[in-house]
Chain A
Amino acid sequence: MNFNIFARISVALFVMPIIIIGAISAFDKDQTVSKDENRTLKQKPEFSVISLVSGDLTKDFDEYYADTFPNRSGFMKINKKINAFFSQRATGSDNIVIINRDNDENDFKGEALTEK
């Protein structure tokens, strides 16, 4: 009996977010531009039989769905944290790699970063 209540909650907490996010996604106003990424976001694709059969329609729809996902910037912030945790990029910038300079063996000694 006890287990069944928690089992129900478990399933509900999986199914409900999917339905709710889907509903919000369907009815909210789509963002057109992403400031963080400095690009325009994909808009709802036009339906045509050709695009349906070729597969372009579904591909475009997937992109559109991802680009206009509710609270997209919030999720992207979390994603950045995940990436930062896995790759230890402490500065937050994607192009800088921190090298431990206490260890002599890894010190530059005047050599270029990319050899050959």
Chain B
Amino acid sequence: MKNIVLLSMSLFFYAWGEPRWIVVLLLSSYVEYLGGLRIDKYKGTWKAKASLIASVVISLSILVIFKYFDFFASTVNSVFKTDIGLLRLGLPIGISFYTFQTITYSVDVYRGRAKVQKSFADLLLYTCMFPQLIAGPIVRYVDIDEQIRDRKVNIKDASYGVTRFLIGLSKKALLANFAGQIVKELIAGDLNKLSVLGAWIGIIGYSFQIYFDFSGYSDMAIGLGHMFGFKYVENFNYPYISKSISEFWKRWHISLTTFFREYVYIPLGGNRKNHALNLLIVWFLTGMWHGASWNFIIWGLYYFVFIMLENLFLRKLLNKIPRVFSRLYTLLVVIVGWVFFYFEDIGKLKQMLSIMFGFGGIPFSNVTDFAYFSNRLFFFIIAIIACTPVARYVKELLYKFSEKSLRCESLVDITNIIFNLILLILCTSALVGSSYNPFLYFRF
């Protein structure tokens, strides 16, 4: 059956990158599988709730041990001067994604939103589908429950999948990797020679890198999913054109904010009870999810502050001023936010911020930084365009054009094919020719 083939491919794919910890993936899925069966069997009784709590706690514990034990231990060590040994386990790839996915399964079975999955193989397929296993989107079980049981692969979807995949691959191999070089050359090492301009170019480079990297992976996942008949939910929606931080988080890593809203924020009471506290918890957890390090927590709380400010009065203000200013405000907040995300070393973080805002007599620009920037102007222009929905408008125009006649439709299709071929060649060249292919989300 289709599912068996897909499952074998996915397990092989995962084992290729992570041969040791594939057992964790299998264990996590099995725990949720058993949990789901028990929840369904004891529906309506306290045993169902107990099974839910047990399976969620076990899954989260696995995640916490691998991801956060060393972080907690070293924090305790530095505060209480103890000497708890660190586990140094290393993080199984994708654990943050598949753990959350298995949790959506148990919770949705309990809530009655999803049908229990009696086949372990099918549930495992949901957990470890190779397109979204490593870097998301975090697919909720309810969204693909039907598709696992019954989906049709048709050539139209597969063709769309190919285009989508290649767009994602291009974002990653052509744009993200080049942006990553900028980051590496400007802000990855010693910050002492950096001018204000250099620091901003560096962090803007990182803003591009993380967006193209992550949204590229999501595009690839969605594209591959289509080729196999799965329709995943979108994960990014041009976040850098947002007019407020609230809007930004509706456009960035949508599957994560959906998860926290559905499975943490709303169960806690949402905006009805303890609104501010619930937001604080959610943003604290969002920060923590991204990494076991204090800078990520600060990053999450940074956004908590802006969300609160916007809820209280800022959004009304933003709605009154021209859109270009709200966009600039959002970009500024987001770009500075990435500084907290990028620098794990608090000392370097402080240094970066002081350089960016011109403290300590740092010059605005110097010869090398300006040359560095002006040489890469083409890249920045293309990157900026790629962050906007220009491509989508072009696609819509082409679609309208193709409706005129069969010949127009053929022309558009041929253009699409040529475009895909060019991207394929460019991406292959970039990947073969480059030894620098950073995988930003290995920490998940």
The residues of A with any CB-CB pair to B shorter than 8 Å are: 2-4, 6-11, 13-14, 17, 52-55, 58, 66, 69, 72, 75-76, 78-80, 82-83, 85-89, 97-100, 106, 108, 111, 113-116
Contact size range, B: 35 or more
- Given A53-B19, A80-B433 in contact, is the A11-B159 Cβ separation under 8 Å? yes
Q: Could you tell me if B432 and A116 are in contact, using CB atoms closer than 8 angstroms? A: no
Q: A82 contacts B174, CB within 8 Å? A: yes
Q: Is the CB of B375 within 8 A of A88?
A: yes
Contact B16–A58 (Cβ < 8 Å): yes
**Contact A114-B368, Cβ < 8 Å, known A54-B20, A55-B19, A88-B376:** yes
What 7 pairs across the A-B complex have the smallest Cβ distances?
A79-B433, A6-B413, A7-B159, A78-B429, A86-B379, A76-B433, A75-B429
Name 23 A/B residue pairs within 8 A (Cβ), A-sorted. Answer: A2-B413, A3-B413, A6-B414, A6-B417, A10-B163, A10-B416, A10-B417, A66-B432, A69-B432, A75-B428, A75-B429, A76-B432, A79-B429, A80-B433, A82-B174, A83-B178, A86-B379, A88-B378, A89-B375, A97-B372, A99-B367, A99-B371, A100-B374
Task: Check if B424 is an interface residue, CB within 8 A of chain A.
Answer: yes
B430 touches A79 (CB 8 A): yes
Quick check: A2 and B410 within 8 Å, CB to CB? Answer: yes
**Which residue of chain A lies nearest to B372 when distances are taken between CB atoms in the complex?**
A97
Nearest residue, chain B, Cβ from A78: B429
With a CB–CB cut-off of 8 A, which chain A residues contact B416? 6, 10
Tell whether A87 pairs with B379 under 8 Å between CB atoms, given A75-B428, A79-B433, A106-B370.
yes
Contact B367 A3 (CB under 8 A): no
Q: Which residues of A contact B426 (CB under 8 A)?
A: 78, 82
Query: Which parts of B127-178 form the interface with A (CB within 8 Å)?
Result: 155-156, 158-159, 162-163, 165-166, 174, 178
Check: B420 CB closer than 8 A to any chain A CB: yes
The distance in angstroms between the C-alpha atoms of A94 and B125, with both chains bound, is 46
Indicate if the CB atoms of B367 and A82 lie closer than 8 Å.
Answer: no
Chain B neighbourhood of A80, CB < 8 A: 433
* Cβ contact within 8 Å between A7 and B156: yes
Chain A residue at minimum C-beta to C-beta distance from B368 = A113
CA distance A33 to B374 in the complex (A): 36
Question: Are A75 and B432 within 8 A (Cβ)?
Answer: yes
**From residue A107, how far is it (CB to closest CB) to chain B in Å?**
9
Is B269 an interface residue, CB under 8 A from the partner? no
A115 and B376 form a contact (CB under 8 A): no
Q: Is there a chain A Cβ closer than 8 Å to B78's Cβ?
A: no
Residues of A close to B420: CB separation below 8 A: 10, 13-14
* Residues of A with C-beta under 8 A to B375: 87-89, 97-98
Which residue of the partner chain, among B367, B379, B409, contacts A111 with CB atoms under 8 Å? Answer: B367
Q: Contact: B417 with A76, CB < 8 Å?
A: no
